[in-house]
Structure 1
Amino acid sequence: MKYYIILFSGICSVLMFGSCKKYLATEPTDFAITSNYYSNKTEIDFAISGIYSNLKNSALSRDWMQLSNAASDEGYHRSAPNGPATFSSTGGNGTITAYWDNCYSAINYINTFLENIGSASGKIDQSVIDKAKGEAYFLRGYYYFLLVQWYGGVPLRLSASKTVEEGQMAKASLKEIYDQIIADMILAEGLLKDQTSASLGYADRVTQDAVQGILARVCLHAAGEPLKDVARYKDALFWSNKLISSGQHTLLPQFSKPFVDEAKNLYNTENIWEIGYSYSGPAVTQNQGGPVGCFVGVRMISEAVSPTRGVDTGFCEGNLMVHPRLLKAYQPGDLRRDRTIANYNFTSSTTSAVVVRNYVNETVLWDRNPAKWRREEEDLVSRGILRGSAINFPLLRYSDVLLMFAEAENYINGPTTAALNAINLVRQRAFSTTNIINNVNVVNASSTNFTSAPLISSSGGGGTGASFVAFVTAGKLSVSVINPGSGYSSAPVLTIGKGNWTTGTPYALNDYVAVGTRQYRITTAGTSTATAPTNTTGASAAATTGAVFTYVGERPTSVTAVLSNHAGSVLLSGLNAAQLTQAIKDERYRELAFECLRYQDLKRWGILYSTVKDLANDIAGGDPNIPAAPAASSGNAIAPVNQITPNNILWPIPLKEVTLNKKITQNPGY
């Protein structure tokens, strides 16, 4: 089997977890073997780092983020490749095979480590050994959790593979696998009693509180489809409540802050466990770091002056596109929407490093990118790397724990105050506690015929920070809110362009002014005279009016900012158990989008197939609130919808595993 080959090449030459004596005529003398290797903390840390490293390999990071989780109602892959992103995998698919290989090679490392860590007893402080064993047991459980979610039943290997015969193993049942995952993690939770977020100070390594949160997640999955071990809801409630009760974690005041911190490698009370990436070195051509923001973010791929690419924003392939259904799932005033889904895109020149940010009309629902992780928030050196980023990725956030607690509490005890309080903490953070600008209503006159978009400014209202951008469609004006601001006591006054015409004023090309009900565009810059333009067609005479004013029809009847203060209305109350269950599902959709949780959430709720199939209606324009997908996008968006079946929700067992392991059987449908 391939496992002992990986053990030889990967461990003997790099990680030195396993003895190479089996393969060599004489025992090597130039490096340590497992029987005497663990003699100090540095050597143990080296081994543990190797166990974590597989989480950063392409299969479990880059491909996982942009391919494995593309096929849901969050988004779709912009090129619809064959494989997991479009429910078109076969046992020979490279993504499917690499995911399996990475999980099992890590498990083999861990088994070897656990079998040999006893050699450190008496040489190293026992607390160091306990923490290392705690991380190893947890990670073994975590890698099996990844496997069971995607493949269903898999071989349960709890000792290091040393011979070909040991590689021959049948699938364990789902219950056996989940029971082992939970047993490993419970053991880890006790061993890590002295390693918490508070004591460690950063989130790149597993802590006791991270174990508690992931245990809650594992138990919810065991309780749901396809295993339906509903007794595990009680365990999910216990572990999520234990983490919450510890008081170590809180939500940050702003929804955007956890993701900004990840771009800057800062740690906080909300992000409990992260995959930590880093970049070191000045050369922009180095390909180091991680995939976050390079593949799932706002697309910006134009090359400026080689080898510098997109220096203002950071290079991003932008391979995930957002389903409009997610965009429409946010309530008016929900501040998460424009952080989760970009309301802008980038254009740049192939000969210049200047990158232009173009804001998107709110009416445009298709062809948007996720925007939780933004490369422009990295430091300059990091964002200069082509396909490597220092942005960390959250594997567990506190908001997820609150929602898991609410779900388990509701299942066990119904819509209690505790369950409602948990979901309401998440919802309350999503909305401003003061008045913001929710939207702008524009009433165009019948003869309005703008030829370009004017600037929109605001004044008054008592608040600050709001900004707007205008769009022109078929001569008619619309205005989108770019920043909703805060603290408004009344709606501010919005002004189109330069507002009303005034004498002796310098006007620039493409400024807009109004005279009474007439709207003009400046087509020749200049200073206005004492005579206002009166023409109702064409352009005014410069000799008479100074600047040239070209008539564009009647000014809009009104351009009105609409306030939104949801501080009270967002709090849920009076729901029955079924209503709260749906509210929790909806809240996870909005809060945790693109954090690689949605696919598996839909699966454990038993609605992945029906949800994906229903997207056909959106793509075809059957929802009155969602226009049909444009031709350039419809093919990519419809591919997973057309190809999903009840059987291919689980991935196939890799072909080479089925070929070499005579005791394993292929998953149904493959």
Structure 2
Amino acid sequence: MKKYIYSLLFMMTVSSCSDFLDTVPTDFITQKNYFKTETDVNTALTGIYDVLGKTGTYGRTIYFELDISDESFNGLSQQTMDLSLNNYDASDVKVHNLWTLLYDGINRANIFLENIDNEDLNMNPEKVKTAKGEALFLRAYYYFLLVTNWGDVPLKLESTKSVSEVNMARTESEVVYNRIVADMETAFSMVQPASAYAYNSRITKSTIAGILARVNLKMAGYPLNKTERFEEARKWALVVMDTENGHELNPDYKQIFINHCQDIYDTKECLWEVEFGKVATGGQEEEGSLGAITGIGNSDKAFGYSYGAMRTTERYYRSFEEGDLRRDWTINNYYYGTVNGISNTHVPYSDAQIYNRSNAKWRREYETATPKNVGTTPINFPILRYSDVLLMFAEAENEVNGPTDEAYEAVNQVRRRAYGLNLPVPPADIPSDVELPENLDQTDFRLRVQKERSLELGFEALRRFDLIRWGIYISTMRDLSNEIKNTAPSSYKYAGRTADNTSDRHLLLPIPSLEIALNKLMKQNPQW
């Protein structure tokens, strides 16, 4: 069993079928007199974390259907309508489930924060403070996912107490962002440092600082364009980079993802992961799909079944430079075949077979937990890695001070690891094409950081988010559409479906139709 808050106590179940404003929760403990012991607190806190691991969030939707961009396409060719194809409407069940789950998490956090200060609670005050900080941060993070995907959303800071609490108007996104930042900064002072835990699925100071860098970068870009926020992003990235926190790059890029498959925690590289665990009977504690819906396609259930549904685009494959070791780990250079009677043999792809290849960061052949399920895996999903923090710092530093030596070094740390040179290497021994070219101006450095984020963080639910905040999502997808039409093999022309469908309205998701029907103050997003 994995050492995680989910497995400390029994998991609380949640129904995602009811609208968050329509009903009073019946599956979450709401009695004021419940919070009497540390076990009570941990159980309720577990329920807030639980939302992260649902199929409708980081179990699948956020990194598969919601993040298909110029890096990848949905390889299930028989589909014509889906969130992953940018061909959906306000009645789409995945859109509805994501909205509902996030508000479920917010409501759970509100209940927790309203009731934890119970005078009858028998618990160390420092532990109470830590738990409150985690709940406060998670509520803010769920709002961050909501506001980035829907824009203006209802800001609900009290739990649902009556069936009459149905009608709530949308709050301006800038107000929501400001509340997110305020709550995360408060939570930072309450939670423990990363060194307090031997695992990385619990909220720590490093988690919050890194996510605050991400939030502030979003605020500095589209749609708010509050460029003064670059300084805040820089500040919070530096907090994580402080050597006292002990974070550093794993020397071997591929080992990051092998560790996820083998239930090995790397708290230096991975600052925050969503935990997925397998119970002794072979069932799932949480319904993760890494390596099963993604991964290298394989029909062998014992070896590790995978749909291999998230395919790479030729644009993404060719964006990697010669010698970059990340390419053939992020994107598989072999498939599983039978050779001389031996099944699951690695058979190399030809140079022309690019669209056949998949998101291969998480490979089930490395999965150690058995028996292996067909549709789900216990592989953790990394929400935040140290390399992401380095690249966020470089981006923010460049916007504030230009391409300084510090900005260069942050990017070059990531690039040296990509070429197998992560250990200290004398400058004279570093090949000239490994590090960034010298004397880049601010614009060119910005473009290099944008590219590096894709090379380093591909398939980690950040590309669409980045393209939108940089204001280039629509133009990028239109360029991709033209490229696929002109260059893809005829059997893979369908790879351009998502790009073909993309229009201005896809900068935001539609408010779910059920929410519109129930909430008389709710207004739909433009063009939906």
Equivalents in 2 of 1:286, 1:669: separation in Å? 39
Per-residue deviation, residues 576-614 of structure 1 (Å, max 9, x unmatched) = 111110010010010000000000100000000000010
Deviation at 1:227, TM superposition (A): 1.1
Per-residue deviation, residues 327-383 of structure 1 (Å, max 9, x unmatched) = 11111000000010000112469xx9933332101332222111110111111515x
Residue aligning to 1:217:
214
Q: Which protein is bigger by CA-based radius of gyration? A: 1
More strand by share: 1
Residue 47 (structure 1) aligned to one of 44, 55, 69:
44
| Conservation of the 8 A alpha-carbon contact between 2:22 and 2:166 | no
**In the alignment, is residue 570 of structure 1 matched against residue 426 of structure 2?**
no
One-letter amino acid of the structure 1 residue matched with residue 462 of structure 2: L
Deviation at 1:397, TM superposition (A): 0.2
Deviation at 1:6, TM superposition (A): 5.2
Residue aligning to 2:308:
318
| Conservation of the 8 A alpha-carbon contact between 2:73 and 2:312 | yes
Equivalents in 1 of 2:285, 2:200: separation in Å? 24
| Conservation of the 8 A alpha-carbon contact between 2:252 and 2:420 | no
**In the alignment, is residue 385 of structure 1 matched against residue 373 of structure 2?**
yes
Deviation at 1:139, TM superposition (A): 0.3
* 1:361–1:287 CA distance, 2 compared to 1 (3 A): farther
| Conservation of the 8 A alpha-carbon contact between 1:89 and 1:651 | no
Residue aligning to 1:525:
none
User: Aligned residue pairs: how many?
Assistant: 498
**In the alignment, is residue 299 of structure 1 matched against residue 297 of structure 2?**
yes
**In the alignment, is residue 419 of structure 1 matched against residue 407 of structure 2?**
yes
| Conservation of the 8 A alpha-carbon contact between 1:428 and 1:567 | no
Unaligned runs of 5+ in 1: 19-32, 303-308, 435-564, 622-627
Equivalents in 2 of 1:398, 1:121: separation in Å? 41
Partner secondary structure for residue 354 of structure 1: strand
* 1:231–1:120 CA distance, 2 compared to 1 (3 A): farther
Partner secondary structure for residue 514 of structure 2: helix
Residue 607 (structure 1) aligned to one of 461, 472, 484:
472
One-letter amino acid of the structure 2 residue matched with residue 633 of structure 1: Y
One-letter amino acid of the structure 1 residue matched with residue 344 of structure 2: V
Residue aligning to 1:270:
269
Residue aligning to 2:397:
409
| Conservation of the 8 A alpha-carbon contact between 1:291 and 1:388 | yes
Scaled by the length of structure 2, the TM-score of the pair is: 0.90
* Higher mean C-alpha displacement, 258-267 vs 598-607: 258-267
**In the alignment, is residue 114 of structure 1 matched against residue 104 of structure 2?**
no
Per-residue deviation, residues 537-591 of structure 1 (Å, max 9, x unmatched) = xxxxxxxxxxxxxxxxxxxxxxxxxxxx963432222111111100100100100
Equivalents in 2 of 1:579, 1:156: separation in Å? 39
**In the alignment, is residue 430 of structure 1 matched against residue 428 of structure 2?**
no
Residue aligning to 2:143:
144
* 1:176–1:348 CA distance, 2 compared to 1 (3 A): farther
Per-residue deviation, residues 375-413 of structure 1 (Å, max 9, x unmatched) = 11111515x221221211100000000000000111011
Partner secondary structure for residue 346 of structure 2: strand
More helix by share: 2
* 1:226–1:5 CA distance, 2 compared to 1 (3 A): closer
One-letter amino acid of the structure 1 residue matched with residue 167 of structure 2: Q
- Ranked by relative contact order (alpha carbons within 8 Å, sequence separation 6 or more), the top structure is 2
Deviation at 1:89, TM superposition (A): 2.0
| Conservation of the 8 A alpha-carbon contact between 1:287 and 1:385 | no
Residue 203 (structure 2) aligned to one of 206, 212, 215:
206
| Conservation of the 8 A alpha-carbon contact between 1:292 and 1:393 | yes
Unaligned runs of 5+ in 2: 1-17, 423-428
Partner secondary structure for residue 189 of structure 2: helix
Partner secondary structure for residue 256 of structure 1: helix
Residue aligning to 2:55:
58
One-letter amino acid of the structure 2 residue matched with residue 332 of structure 1: E
**In the alignment, is residue 634 of structure 1 matched against residue 502 of structure 2?**
no
Equivalents in 2 of 1:364, 1:373: separation in Å? 20
One-letter amino acid of the structure 2 residue matched with residue 608 of structure 1: Y
One-letter amino acid of the structure 2 residue matched with residue 2 of structure 1: D
State the identity as a percent: 34
Residue aligning to 1:160:
159
Partner secondary structure for residue 280 of structure 2: coil
| Conservation of the 8 A alpha-carbon contact between 2:53 and 2:287 | no
**In the alignment, is residue 3 of structure 1 matched against residue 20 of structure 2?**
yes
One-letter amino acid of the structure 1 residue matched with residue 433 of structure 2: S
Per-residue deviation, residues 473-522 of structure 1 (Å, max 9, x unmatched) = xxxxxxxxxxxxxxxxxxxxxxxxxxxxxxxxxxxxxxxxxxxxxxxxxx
Residue 248 (structure 2) aligned to one of 242, 247, 250:
250
| Conservation of the 8 A alpha-carbon contact between 1:4 and 1:163 | no
Per-residue deviation, residues 429-461 of structure 1 (Å, max 9, x unmatched) = 111349xxxxxxxxxxxxxxxxxxxxxxxxxxx
| Conservation of the 8 A alpha-carbon contact between 2:223 and 2:469 | yes
Deviation at 1:164, TM superposition (A): 3.7
